Chain A
């Protein structure tokens, strides 16, 4: 595979990573609102870590809207952020898995496709670590911007992510109200009662 093709692959997969994580966070909203399952503090922290893990790739995409080439330094820095965010996310989700590891524990919330959301979160963080590792191994030159004709699509991916972060901020504000910390076992939105 030629170097430029690798660069193009990196650029497209950067969009895919942000899009997939945004969809996962929207799915978490679906569980929260449609299944009426309030997220616990650790669930919220995992959402935060997931967002933090893709902030770097979002920067790459945003930068690509103003430049024809993404410098390899920026690209490496972005995937480095993904590694750091994912490691933090792994620690948080592992902690929640271990809370429910005792035999007889039913876990927190309903399982989705056989696994609880915090177990899915750990798998997502591991997948992000692997993706970042692959990108960092193969990145050797500046990455060309290949989505010039699909710029609207590229901007939509970024806007979707920004909106997901904003929606989470609003949701958590409703959940915590004017209390400093989130309730350990949430049952209602404090701001509404």
Chain B
């Protein structure tokens, strides 16, 4: 669900280019960046069970 939400956020960020408001694009970009970084920190500290 969270990953799907991040993809929807990314789609919103990509579509925000249709507006002439740069602050909106930049805000959504940083929101996406932080969301991906947080999701990565979750998976990076979790046991992935995909190595040896």
Interface residues of chain A, those whose CB is within 8 Å of chain B, are 40-42, 44-45, 48-49, 51-52, 55-56, 58-63, 66, 74, 77, 81, 84-85, 88, 91-92, 95, 99-100, 102, 104-105, 108, 161-162, 165-166, 168-169, 172-173, 176, 178-182, 184-185
Interface residues of B in 7-52 (CB under 8 A from A): 7-8, 10-11, 13-18, 20, 22, 25-26, 29, 32-33, 36-37, 39-40, 42-44, 46-52
Contacts of A180 in B (CB 8 A): 1-2
Q: Which single member of B13, B14, B40 contacts A45 (CB below 8 Å)?
A: B40
Contacts of A59 in B (CB 8 A): 14, 16-17, 25
Q: Is the CB of A169 within 8 A of B29?
A: no
Contacts of B17 in A (CB 8 A): 55, 58-63
Interface of B is mostly: helix
Q: Is the CB of A169 within 8 A of B1?
A: no
Q: Number of B interface residues at 8 Å Cβ cutoff, please give it.
A: 36
Q: Is the CB of A105 within 8 A of B40?
A: no
Can you show 19 pairs from A to B with CB atoms below 8 A apart? A40-B50, A44-B3, A52-B32, A52-B33, A55-B14, A55-B32, A56-B29, A58-B14, A61-B17, A74-B22, A104-B52, A161-B14, A165-B11, A165-B14, A169-B10, A176-B3, A176-B4, A182-B3, A184-B49
Contacts of A91 in B (CB 8 A): 40
Contacts of B13 in A (CB 8 A): 52, 55
Contacts of A63 in B (CB 8 A): 17, 20
Q: Is the CB of B14 within 8 A of A84?
A: no
Q: Is the CB of A41 within 8 A of B11?
A: no
Contacts of B26 in A (CB 8 A): 77
Q: Is the CB of A166 within 8 A of B11?
A: yes
Contacts of B4 in A (CB 8 A): 169, 172-173, 176
Whole-angstrom CA separation of A77 from B25 in the bound complex: 10
CB distance from B10 to the nearest CB of A (A): 5
